[in-house]
């Protein structure tokens, strides 16, 4: 049981790392609306 959980946890970690790498190199879709497109102003 512990081994199964251990493997599951690590698969989750590996998937997350893969997702991060993909997100880093992914180009934004042309229709993606960014919140920071506007001019900078006082928060």
> 36 φ, ψ to 5°?
-100, 20
**CA 28, CA 17: separation in Å to the nearest integer?**
19
| Minimal distance, residue 5 CB to another protein, in Å | 6
**CA 33, CA 29: separation in Å to the nearest integer?**
9
Neighbours of 16 (CB within 10 A): 10
Tell whether residue 15 is a contact of another protein (CB under 8 A): no
Tell whether residue 27 is a contact of another protein (CB under 8 A): no
Tell whether residue 24 is a contact of another protein (CB under 8 A): yes
Q: Which residues bind another protein (CB under 8 A)?
A: 2, 5-6, 9-10, 12-13, 16, 20, 23-24, 28, 32-36, 38, 40-43
């Amino acid at each position: 049981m512990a081994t199964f959980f251990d493997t599951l946890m690590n698969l989750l970690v590996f998937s997350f790392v893969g997702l991060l790498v993909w997100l880093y190199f992914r180009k934004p879709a042309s229709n993606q609306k960014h919140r920071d497109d506007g001019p900078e102003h006082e928060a």
